[in-house]
Structure 1
Amino acid sequence: MVISLLSMLALAAAGTSAISIPGTASSNSQSPGLSVRDSFHGRNTGNLNKGCQNGPTSRQCWGEYDINTNYYKTIFYTNRTVEYWLTLEEIDCAPDGYQRKCLTANGTMPGPAITANWGDDVVVHVTNNIATNGSAIHWHGLRQLNNNAMDGVPGVTQCPIAPGTSMTYKFHADQYGTSWYHSHFSLQYSNGLYGPLIINGPATADYDEDLGAVFITDWDHPTADEHWATISNFNITFNGSDTGLINGMNTGNCTASNSTKLDRNCVSNGKKFELLFEAGKKYRLRVLNVATEDWVQFSIDNHTLTVMANDFVPIVPYQTSSVLIGMGQRYDVIVEANAPPGDYWLRSNFEQFCMPNAAGPNNITAIVRYNNDSTAMPTSSSVNGAVLGLNFCVDEQPTNLEPWVPVDLDMSKVKAGIQTQQIGPEWVDNGTYLRWSINHGSYMWVDWTNPALGGVLSGNLSAIPVKDNVFQVGANSSSTPSQSNETEWVVLVIEDKTPFTGISHPLHLHGHDFLILATGYEQWTGTTYGWQFTNPPRRDTAQMPANGFMAIAWPLDNPGVWALHCHVAWHSSQGLGASVVESSALIPGKVGGDWACTLNPVCDTWNAWAPTMPYQQSDSGI
């Protein structure tokens, strides 16, 4: 049975705004998501109409489940499939008034929201209409339990989707919260190819309305590909972004007095993104940093933030005036409209200490209004009347990021002992090019025609290209697998061996939330003294301090080939990544069917088109 999304009482609106480029509507005849159908699994069905109902004063409820349900152990099904269509295109856009080429999903930046309920099945049909390149869509932060083939990383889990062809992604929403989908093909997301991924579920604090995603990104007037030609050549530091965008919008300056804007590409002065508050209400904002190279400090003048989730992990709520967000990270915050009615700046200041930036720390803004008729520019001031700024690059304090559902680590379950990896620069071709290495001096440079997952499924790990930078854990790795039914864990210490200071790395692991046992601002001494084993912070993207270390842990319960990489896009393109092969002996039984049915045809069409590709691979590929 197919019903309209509008009739789904349980499916809350995502509320995400995007900039729509006039005259550049998608050529896709399908709406981005207008189909919901029954899908009967016959197992562990959850009924959202029974039990405690989710509402403004009962956000911890979710039908027969609630905020205390451990979704790592309790997988349930709503018996409903939500279906979407995305068309990937290159268009002309001017999000800040300066026209350039952009990559979009369905003609908007950000793309349309992929929205589901906790327990739904999701089907997304992706058509690549980018004429000159392949693509693939990654569902950032999704666990993809036993579903590695749908992770969307070209050269790791699939071949790219060739121009003019399509691929269908299918996954189960066994987590809930805020994330994003984005291209994982080279630097495409830095050119605009991303959108919100919202999975509705319970929350640790009450609110009245969900205003949806607030995307924050840096933005350049040259494309990321044009920048790459310079950055790939022995470049460690960056000149900084031209500006930044909030939900695809910001203002520029095309006036005659601004000589830097006097060219034919400056077509307007742009527009600020706006939110409307009603006095007395509490609003949920889903704040995402999808930048290429910039950390941001998010705040709203004269308002307090109640933080209730980091990445896909609900946390014990805490209050703050601002939150520091690294690339790939998300925070769900509640803002109470309790300030005197007026107009206020919403700020996403670029953190100068993390990455020197030409845009300055205080001009990436949106507007919060209490009166929809107001057109005035805010005159409000930031926290303590000063420009926000820190002098170090870290995540929020670990004591603030306490997961609501506790997960502890028993070191007796770490059978292979503590493993280590090092990050550092490598110069290749007689010092001509900079590469970032991980996995003891190796850097990642995938082969789009030969994904690592295919090599694992063939049963011949030696067939995986060396530059996929494989790091094995679990069964069939260098460690001895346990013979018991108890889930083993891996503990990994990652150290920054960079011989210069000040470059931090937001590290993202696919396929898992990981425990953050420790971070340090110096090299690891080899001891676990001071590590947090009882309910430490847990997320899928975390900040490793410059010249320091980070110790993380995750359970070996999701066989697959999972990318581990830095979310500074330049670093990822320069090779800072690895293919984590988890429990390779179990992978064929979990994902082999998906490869045969879905991914073999994708590889066939890609391999037929690739020899004619006008732009050959010039970076890591991810």
Structure 2
Amino acid sequence: MIAPGQTIDVLVQADQPIANYEMAIGPYVTAQNVSFQNISAVAHFQYSGANLNKASEPAILPAFNNSLVYDSHLNGLRSLSADYLPLEIDTNLFFTIGLNIDPCNRPNPSQTCTGNNGGIFRASMNNISFVNPSLSILQAYYFKVPGAFRPDFPSKPLKFYNFVYGAPNNIPFNTAAMNSTRVVELEYGSTVQLVMQDTGTVTTENHPIHLHGYSFYVVGFGVGNYNPSTAMFNLVDPPYLNTIGVPVGGWAAIRFTANNPGVWFMHCHLDNHLSWGMSMAFLVKNGVGPLETLPPPPADLPRC
């Protein structure tokens, strides 16, 4: 199962009997009552010497919303090497991710406020909906320009509740998000564990979360609310990815070492969720020496 925007290296072992084979792909969709293109595609894999007149066995795809297939696929991914997996953690983070409903404040509510209870759809992490700053966060950080962002993105949710099975989605605008531009500041070389928890405030959904500037180890995932006392982690050979589809109504845990200085965006790879604010940024401080320091902008950097 490949999430939107995700890249995976695959090693194919051609060790089957000489014949024709089919490789098929189809959509995986977990959102409720959302239209999508239910289109599949088939590629043909032919061994040299195969009988071209003999049809291959038809590929059978699972149902478009079969999350059990996704979970089993994720559970089967392994790294060939996990030499850089952090075992001791300096920074523990817990982010909720999900949709929100903001009160309608627009002049034509019947046309533009199509969310639940006549509100506006938003999306958030830790109930903070990202707002694009007036100035690049990286530029503001490098030149010490005040007011472009806040360095206090919360390390845990502002409110705790039954994230999956008891989300407060039946009270008008109880799910309104806080609009803000905030980052998590990290010391250079610090090790980070981030648990991302899907919520059911509007609906549970598989969210493909992508982190710029880093790949990360997916050390655990599960269905339901994350429980640190029962969660099972793979600290031997976890997959090394740049995007993780957080399971629908579940959670995923990732680890990485903050050794790339700068400002790095993390966001959902579903375009509408990104535009609604399901994103945040990590600000990784400089280390020691030129190899651990953010370089200056190029002389021909375009000016806004």
What TM-score does the superposition give when structure 2 sets the normalisation length? 0.70
From 101, 108, 121, the equivalent of 1:427 is 101
Distance in 1, matches of 2:27 and 2:90, equals 42
Determine if the alignment matches structure 1 residue 472 to structure 2 residue 184.
yes
Determine if the alignment matches structure 1 residue 391 to structure 2 residue 66.
yes
1:474 maps to a residue whose letter is L
Determine if the alignment matches structure 1 residue 444 to structure 2 residue 130.
yes
From 272, 293, 297, the equivalent of 1:590 is 293
Distance in 1, matches of 2:35 and 2:269, equals 17
Distance in 2, matches of 1:429 and 1:500, equals 14
Which residues in structure 2 correspond to 1:231-246 (within 5 Å)?
A: none
Q: Alpha-carbon deviation of 1:434?
A: 1.0
Paired residues, number: 257
Larger relative CO (CA 8 A, sep 6+): 1 or 2? 2
Q: Alpha-carbon deviation of 1:357?
A: 5.9
Structure 1 gap segments, 5+ residues each: 1-323, 476-480, 482-486, 608-622
From 30, 45, 58, the equivalent of 1:382 is 58
| Contact 2:149–2:183 (8 Å) recurs in 1 | no
Determine if the alignment matches structure 1 residue 459 to structure 2 residue 162.
no
Q: Alpha-carbon deviation of 1:461?
A: 5.2
Max Rg structure: 1
Q: Alpha-carbon deviation of 1:338?
A: 5.1
Q: Alpha-carbon deviation of 1:468?
A: 6.7
Q: Alpha-carbon deviation of 1:329?
A: 1.9
* 1:459 partner SS: coil
Provide the residue aligned with 2:12 in structure 1: 334
What TM-score does the superposition give when structure 1 sets the normalisation length? 0.36
Provide the residue aligned with 1:557 in structure 2: 259
Deviations 1:406-452 (A, max 9, x none): 333322xx334x222211222235254311101x21112324x5111
Provide the residue aligned with 1:511 in structure 2: 213
Deviations 1:18-55 (A, max 9, x none): xxxxxxxxxxxxxxxxxxxxxxxxxxxxxxxxxxxxxx
Q: Alpha-carbon deviation of 1:368?
A: 4.3
Distance in 2, matches of 1:535 and 1:586, equals 30
Identify if the C-alpha distance between structure 1 residues 516 and 358 changes in structure 2 by more than 3 Å, giving closer, same or farther: closer
Identify if the C-alpha distance between structure 1 residues 569 and 524 changes in structure 2 by more than 3 Å, giving closer, same or farther: same
Provide the residue aligned with 1:325 in structure 2: 2
Identify if the C-alpha distance between structure 1 residues 584 and 546 changes in structure 2 by more than 3 Å, giving closer, same or farther: farther
Q: Alpha-carbon deviation of 1:583?
A: 1.9
Distance in 2, matches of 1:576 and 1:453, equals 19
Identify if the C-alpha distance between structure 1 residues 353 and 375 changes in structure 2 by more than 3 Å, giving closer, same or farther: farther
Q: Alpha-carbon deviation of 1:503?
A: 1.0
Distance in 2, matches of 1:495 and 1:592, equals 35
Structure 2 gap segments, 5+ residues each: 105-117, 152-178
Which residues in structure 2 correspond to 1:39-78 (within 5 Å)?
A: none
Distance in 1, matches of 2:228 and 2:29, equals 32
Distance in 1, matches of 2:238 and 2:52, equals 45
Identify if the C-alpha distance between structure 1 residues 587 and 338 changes in structure 2 by more than 3 Å, giving closer, same or farther: same
* 2:147 partner SS: helix
Q: Percent identity?
A: 19
1:428 maps to a residue whose letter is D
Distance in 2, matches of 1:529 and 1:387, equals 30
Q: Alpha-carbon deviation of 1:529?
A: 5.0
